[in-house]
Amino acid sequence: MTPRLTPLLRCLAWLSLPLTASAADVTAAVSSTPVATLSIDATASAGRVSPLHYGLMTEEINHCYDGGLYAELVRNRTFRDDDKQPAHWSAVHDATLALDRTQPLNAANPASLRVDIRASGGGVANTGYWGFPVTPSTRYRATVHAKAAAGFTGPLTLSLQSPDGSIVYARAKISRLSADWQAHEVTLRTARGITPTTDTRLVLGTEAPATVWLGLVSLFPPTWKDRPNGLRRDLMQMLVDLKPAFLRFPGGNYLEGDTIDSRFKWWETLGPIAERPGHPCPWGYRSTDGMGLLEFLLWCEDMKAEPVLALYAGYSLRGDYVKPGPDLEPFIKEALDEIEYVSGPVTSTWGARRAADGHPEPFPLRYVEIGNEDWFDKSGSYDARYTQFQDAIKARHPGLKCISSIGNEQPAQKRVQSRRPDVLDEHYYRKTADFLKDSPTHFDSYDRSGPEIFVGEWAAHETAFPPWDKQSKGLPATPNQWAAIGDAAWMAAMERHSDFVTMQCYAPLFANLNDYQWRPDLIGYDALRAYGSPSYHAFRLFSTHVGDEILKTTFGAGTSVQGSVTRDSRSGLIYVKLVNPLPAAQSLRIDLAGGRPLARTARVFTLAAAPDATNSLAAPAKVVPVASKLPVSSPSFTCDLAPTSVTVLELKPR
Ligand code: AHR
């Protein structure tokens, strides 16, 4: 008789196979043990999957916008990154550079770059965000705010070139410079046959001695939907492929700022880019605010995602807070005005401003979050601040749902007591092993009648080091398959409870691989290329295979497989999501009670790899889902799960 082995023992049995074991030995070793089981109750829905369940969280971190999604290519375009020197700019040939506060572009951008060119070929070069992405047959749109000392009218030449200037990929000329500030727009086009590269710089130069002042230099490649001041196409495609239902913005810590003064001042992020001052971002660099409130909203619109707007609520990261009461009133007005900008009619003050900015149609807005991670506020003022915000918001917008930034993962005494928030935002950054342990039961004790739960930040880390630990610095920005296993187990837990876990989003979304402050991140990139981590692919498998009904699932005692099952009430398709954390294949017997008889074949999507396997710029598709078919039958069938894998079965009714 075959001994009954627990999954762990079966895994050990697998590991003790001789290295020379053939595939047949391996199959025999696994299939000779009793199978793990999953029972699915398809007789009735156990709850409604929130249509908003899968979404995205975003903020300026890891060069997520500047040097990331926001497609601007010129770094330090208004010369505000450093008060003392023109950071990321350097002189070319016989020229000198200086920040000049006597010739400001405008009040928002009080220093210009003075370029004294002494001989033909002199000028100034920009590094871009670790190079400019030069690709064949590409049109780049440049905007330059410039003026010149009397007597010089141009031309000023812009060129994308190799760092030593020996190769020029594209060039354009600006003429008719004058002694007054003027905005010039030109197009640079690359030739067909060039090899894509980031080993490049942007040079602005003259063919004769001259003194030129630059107030803003901007260069955009083709953007998503060709929007001016738009977003990078490859990264947007990766996001659209996730079919996100919402976008949480603008943070995260980025909302709060290090200090009250460096909070996200949404009104300063509107209007022409030349008039945006930008502000210091708490992640160690300055934000241009090119990615402003309207750009966030258009981003939502382009992804068909709904905005989940985080409102600054009077607490900043270094511990400054605004006392509840009269001191907080101006901040509440800021928030109400922001809501009006997003969703007010054109007849309202801020709705009219939105219309003037080019979007008369109000954006849909159903959820606002009051602050971010306010459990860090040691003054204990959140309860009163939250109350003041919620009361003011509900008085003006009774239908808006208010999200508290403190959830059940925090001690009860920190949570809001004076009001009942509509939604609680919970954050979980955990080791894969911890997610695997907690996921089977985590939400079981929650009150299904509310408040709704928004898991507004979560991610598994595969190492012992949480993202804020010094020892996580220097590790790769994007995680490996082992992290994706933890992510998938956690997503399955949230999805099983997606009637009250109404929204969830991984964080952070993006990392520029040249400079990141936090790992792990879902998507990695440089100026030219991008890839999804195994976690990205796990998320995509989940977010694109989801029905509207939760089906009750029971895993047999002792099985280590975790998962979630949903059904689409219209098509009858059943989505079975399975996570095998073991480094050995497992056979899972699936018993389906009730529901319609199944078609004979199911589609299967498998993300399987060794725990330490990962993707990178050099090997972007090492770990990606593979599609296959599985013969199935009602009411029972067996499914073989690959070692350390995430599998989605699509069961079709006959
Ligand atoms: O996602 C990174 C950071 O983690 C967020 O800015 C903050 O809200 C959390 O602490």
How many other CB atoms are there within 10 angstroms of residue 207's CB atom? 16
Give 445-507 as a DSSP string.
GS-TTSSEEEEEEEEEESSS--TTSGGGTTS-SS--HHHHHHHHHHHHHHHHTTTTEEEE--S
Nearest CA to ligand 1 atom 3: 252
Q: What is the pLDDT of residue 561?
A: 98
Q: What is the pLDDT of residue 579?
A: 98
Domain for residue 65, yes or no? no
CB distance 459 to ligand 1 below 6 Å: no
Please state, in angstroms and as integers, the Cα–Cα distance from residue 116 to each residue in 101, 204, 205, 382, following that order: 15, 12, 10, 54
Domain for residue 110, yes or no? yes
Burial of 341 (0-12, 13-18, 19+ CB in 10 A): buried
**HSE of 370, CA atoms in CB hemisphere, 13 A:** 33
Say how far apart CA 526 and CA 326 lie, in whole Å: 47
- Extract the tokens encoding 250: 């603008």
Residues 195 and 319 in one domain: no
- 412 C-alpha to ligand 1 centroid (Å): 21
Nearest CA to ligand 1 atom 9: 252
Give the CATH number of the domain where residue 604 resides: 2.60.40.1180
Could you tell which of 63, 65, 287, 372 is best to mutate to test the pocket of ligand 1, judged by most ligand atoms within 8 Å of the CB? 372
Strands 523-525 and 530-532: antiparallel
Say how far apart CA 224 and CA 228 lie, in whole Å: 9
Residues 133 and 12 in one domain: no
Please state, in angstroms and as integers, the Cα–Cα distance from residue 366 to each residue in 170, 272, 397, 406, 637, following that order: 46, 28, 10, 19, 43
Index of the ligand 1 atom closest to the CA of residue 282 = 6
53 near 546, Cβ under 8 Å? yes
185 near 218, Cβ under 8 Å? no
- 425 C-alpha to ligand 1 centroid (Å): 12
Helices 293-303 and 233-240, axial angle in degrees (round to 10): 50
Say how far apart CA 413 and CA 382 lie, in whole Å: 11
- To which residue do tokens 């199978």 refer? 35
With a cut of 70, list the residues of the chain below it in pLDDT.
1-35
H/E segment holding residue 437? helix 432-438
Give the CATH number of the domain where residue 366 resides: 3.20.20.80
Domain for residue 355, yes or no? yes
Index of the ligand 1 atom closest to the CA of residue 457 = 1
Give 523-559 as a DSSP string.
EEE-SS-EEE-HHHHHHHHHHTS--SEE-EEEEPTT-
Read off φ and ψ for residue 55, nearest 5 degrees.
-145, -165
Q: How many domains does the chain have?
A: 3
Q: What percent of the chain has pLDDT over 70?
A: 95
Burial of 447 (0-12, 13-18, 19+ CB in 10 A): exposed
- Extract the tokens encoding 244: 């996100």
Distance from the first to the final alpha carbon of the chain:
38
- 312 C-alpha to ligand 1 centroid (Å): 15
Index of the ligand 1 atom closest to the CA of residue 508 = 1
CB distance 581 to ligand 1 below 6 Å: no
Domain housing 612: 7-47+547-651
- 136 C-alpha to ligand 1 centroid (Å): 38
Domain for residue 515, yes or no? no
Helices 382-396 and 329-343, axial angle in degrees (round to 10): 40
606 near 588, Cβ under 8 Å? no
81 near 87, Cβ under 8 Å? yes
CB distance 252 to ligand 1 below 6 Å: yes
Residues 538 and 556 in one domain: no
Domain for residue 73, yes or no? no
Residues 248 and 351 in one domain: yes
Q: What is the pLDDT of residue 31?
A: 38
- Which residue among 220, 246, 279 closes a domain? 220
Residues 371 and 313 in one domain: yes
Please state, in angstroms and as integers, the Cα–Cα distance from residue 112 to each residue in 92, 218, 565, following that order: 18, 14, 59
- Which residue among 187, 220, 253 closes a domain? 220
Q: What is the pLDDT of residue 30?
A: 35
Residues 23 and 110 in one domain: no
Instruction: State the chain's mean pLDDT as an integer.
Output: 94
Residues 345 and 471 in one domain: yes
Q: What is the pLDDT of residue 448?
A: 87
CB distance 251 to ligand 1 below 6 Å: yes
- Extract the tokens encoding 405: 């930034």
Starting at the edge strand that comes first in sequence, how are the strands of the sheet with 182-189 ordered? 95-100, 112-117, 210-220, 139-148, 182-189
Residues 538 and 564 in one domain: no
Residues 607 and 537 in one domain: no
Residues 576 and 625 in one domain: yes
Say how far apart CA 402 and CA 408 lie, in whole Å: 16
- Which residue among 515, 543, 571 closes a domain? 543
CB distance 508 to ligand 1 below 6 Å: yes
105 near 216, Cβ under 8 Å? yes
- 254 C-alpha to ligand 1 centroid (Å): 8
CB distance 507 to ligand 1 below 6 Å: yes
Domain for residue 66, yes or no? no
- 532 C-alpha to ligand 1 centroid (Å): 20
Amino acid present at 541: L
Closest CA to 235 of 647, 607, 619, 521: 521
Closest CA to 486 of 467, 458, 465: 458
Domain for residue 374, yes or no? yes
- 467 C-alpha to ligand 1 centroid (Å): 10
CB distance 518 to ligand 1 below 6 Å: yes
Say how far apart CA 362 and CA 345 lie, in whole Å: 6
Nearest CA to ligand 1 atom 7: 252
Index of the ligand 1 atom closest to the CA of residue 57 = 1
Residues 614 and 465 in one domain: no
- 251 C-alpha to ligand 1 centroid (Å): 8
CB distance 426 to ligand 1 below 6 Å: no
Give the CATH number of the domain where residue 148 resides: 2.60.120.260
Adjacent-strand bridge partners of 586: 641
- 109 C-alpha to ligand 1 centroid (Å): 29
- 252 C-alpha to ligand 1 centroid (Å): 5
CB distance 59 to ligand 1 below 6 Å: yes
Say how far apart CA 621 and CA 618 lie, in whole Å: 9
Residues 486 and 618 in one domain: no
- Extract the tokens encoding 7: 């999954």
- 553 C-alpha to ligand 1 centroid (Å): 33
527 near 476, Cβ under 8 Å? no
Rg over CA atoms, the chain: 27
Say how far apart CA 598 and CA 625 lie, in whole Å: 24
Domain for residue 69, yes or no? no
Index of the ligand 1 atom closest to the CA of residue 372 = 8
Query: Dihedral of CA 615/617/618/619: which sign?
Result: positive
Say how far apart CA 517 and CA 472 lie, in whole Å: 10
